[in-house]
Chains A and B, each alone.
Chain A
Amino acid sequence: MKFGGREWALAAGAILLLVYPLLAQGAFFERLGALVLLSAIGASAWNILGGYAGQISVGHAMFYGIGAYAPLMAYKLWDAPPLFGVPAGIAIALVVAVVIGFPTFRLVGHYFSMATIAVAELVRIVVSNWDFVGAAIGLMGPATSRTVLDLSFKSSVPYYYLFLAVLAVVLGVTWQLARGRLGYCLRAIKASERAARSLGVPVRRYKLYALLLSAGFTALAGSLYALMIGFADPDSTFGLLISVDMIIIAALGGAGTLLGPLIGAVILVPLREVTNSVFGGGGSGMTYILFGGIIMLIARFEPGGLMEIGRRLAGATRRRPDTTPKVADRAA
């Protein structure tokens, strides 16, 4: 592989992620690092369906919530280490994805988004009123670490490296997907379902594959959240704002790009934590005013997100052919 500017930037970024806990002193920054990675996992998972396939789900919180609740249910029901509930959470999320995928994929554009909001809110309301899963109060994990399998650490650093490993897997799978047939076809579906179909792309089946991958990884992100925080309630895991977070993070960095969600998380999560700590209890409102402003800026000026801006800047210096306007007329 030729090492150009892009490869050096990637290598520097990877090294920075690996050594960050050594550079960041203090619990606040260690925790911040873990939260950035957790959000990056969630947004990257959403990105497979929302970014690559262009199916803007605003209901991914339901998968996140299922993933968060499953480990805590394993502890509640059987006193098992929460870790043991993680596969169950992913499995349930996959089943839910199939059940909602078939009817909702008949809808396109905003209608699909609205349907996902409706289903996710329905799930949140059911969970909020279902005593078996803790109703509005939610669920707790083990209060103290019983064995190492409880993955209950005082420091955020072990979580940081756990999340980094999971993020590497999610990005690795996404990279592999994007460069194969499925990735190309999902991008085609995003641009024009009708045209993709006319070229023999099995649109519904591929959208379902994207949803399954996306839902599975989102559930895993939810599980990681529960393992770190040791607590989950309906609003903090099934809430609409969890879905919105994933979308804004991915969109800011660049939806449909491999590293866009990570870049979005690196910018937005610290911003959120700072506004939360500056404005205290009322801070969450402030955070979303800020996020709303960011959505407007992205939608108005650069729907491709920061990755697209980076690509343009790189294109301006390298004069890539795809930045020259209306060049085809000379060919045809």
Chain B
Amino acid sequence: MLLEANKVTKQFGAFRALDGADLRVEEGEIVGLIGPNGAGKSTFFNCLVGDMTPDRGRVVFAGRDVTRATPEEHARLGMGRTFQVPATFEDMTVAENVMVGAFLRHPERRAARAAAEKIVERVGLGDLAEARARSLGTPGRKRLEIARVLATEPRLMLLDEALAGLTPAEIVRAIELVRQIHASGVTIVIVEHIMEVILSLTGRIIVFNQGRIIAAGAPREVVEDPAVVAAYLGHSLKRGAKPLPAGEAPPEARP
């Protein structure tokens, strides 16, 4: 077991954002987290990566209890995350942004630079390595965030709506990138609203509603679960959505 969260609970005043959420992720999996806005996905995500400390419950990563560990410790242990709103270092170049991640495993500047250059090429930003992050559009920023995390050489990558705001054609390319990363041996947990993305990428999905997990399992079964349809999807995806083959643009499928 790579990541295990047990009965994670988080309360803000009288509002219980997360109520005993469980998650088990095996090495090599791609797991999707879905649910309506305000369902507790982001709170759960933040508890997993160390941005928030759960009030109750336990998070174990690679055999270590990380419930109260800082985000720095999570990164050192091999857990990387992207942000829903890209948090690129605006005044630094693309390569410099990635170097900040690369320094974690390569403290010497030249080694960090070499590692960063390889990753920048790998995510398709090679031409823009010396451009400042502020000059990038949304797709470039999302890619840069993924590149930065890759530079930390993670075992587990948590993607927080990494594909939101992309055009259908960009989504197809981004899915391809996520697949490549997964194929290189990185386990992935992805929070996403675009159902086609979830269906094409994940082997298992977990559905949140009102701070609780209401369904979990294989994507096809879960999207047909009446509770999930009622709480989130609004209609069954039985006939509509299908996984995206590489190179095909997805239809809009936001619930």
Give A contacts to B, CB under 8 Å: 179-181, 184-185, 187-188, 190-192, 194-203, 256, 320-329, 331-332
Contact = CB atoms under 8 A, between A and B. Distances in A.
Interface string B66-101: 000011101110001101000111111100110111
Given A188-B100, A201-B72, A332-B174, A324 B131 contact: yes
Contacts of B101: 199-200
B137 A199 contact: no
A332 B137 contact: yes
A199 B140 contact: no
B135 A202 contact: no
A111 B173 CA distance: 42
Nearest to B127: A331
Contacts of B124: 331-332
A191 B90 contact: yes
Interface in B92-115: 92-93, 96-97, 99-101, 103-104, 107-109, 112
B72 A203 contact: yes
B22 interface: no
B193 interface: no
Given A198-B149, A327-B137, 12 more contacts: A180-B109, A187-B96, A192-B87, A197-B70, A199-B104, A199-B152, A256-B91, A322-B93, A322-B131, A322-B135, A328-B140, A331-B128
B49 A331 contact: no
A197 B90 contact: no
Nearest to B90: A191
A200 B75 contact: yes
22 contacts: A181-B108, A184-B96, A184-B103, A190-B91, A191-B90, A195-B83, A198-B81, A199-B101, A199-B104, A199-B148, A200-B101, A201-B100, A321-B128, A321-B131, A326-B137, A327-B128, A327-B131, A329-B138, A331-B124, A331-B139, A331-B140, A332-B140
Contacts of B74: 198
Contacts of A192: 87-89
A254 to B, nearest CB: 11
Contacts of B107: 181
A221 to B, nearest CB: 27
A interface, by DSSP: helix, strand, loop or mixed? helix
Contacts of A331: 124-125, 127-128, 139-140, 143
Contacts of A325: 135
A268 B91 CA distance: 26
Interface residues of B, number: 53
A191 B51 CA distance: 17
10 closest pairs, A vs B, by CB?
A328-B140, A332-B139, A200-B75, A328-B136, A195-B87, A191-B89, A200-B104, A322-B132, A329-B137, A197-B71
B65 interface: no
Interface string B116-136: 000000001101101110011
Nearest to A320: B130
A302 to B, nearest CB: 13
Nearest to A332: B139
B141 interface: yes
Best-surrounded residue of B76, B108, B128 (most CB of chain A within 10 A): B128
B140 A324 contact: no
Contacts of B93: 322
B92 A187 contact: yes
Nearest to B51: A194
Contact of A202 (B72, B125, B138, B141): B72
Contacts of A184: 92, 96, 99-100, 103, 112
B135 A326 contact: yes
B91 to A, nearest CB: 6
B134 to A, nearest CB: 8
Contacts of B70: 197
B109 A200 contact: no
Nearest to A181: B103
Contacts of B173: 332
A322 B135 CA distance: 7
Contact of B92 (A188, A194, A202): A188
B72 A328 contact: no
B127 A322 contact: no
Nearest to A191: B89
A181 B137 CA distance: 27
A188 B92 CA distance: 8
A197 B135 CA distance: 23
Given A181-B109, A188-B89, A328 B103 contact: no
B29 interface: no
A331 B112 CA distance: 23
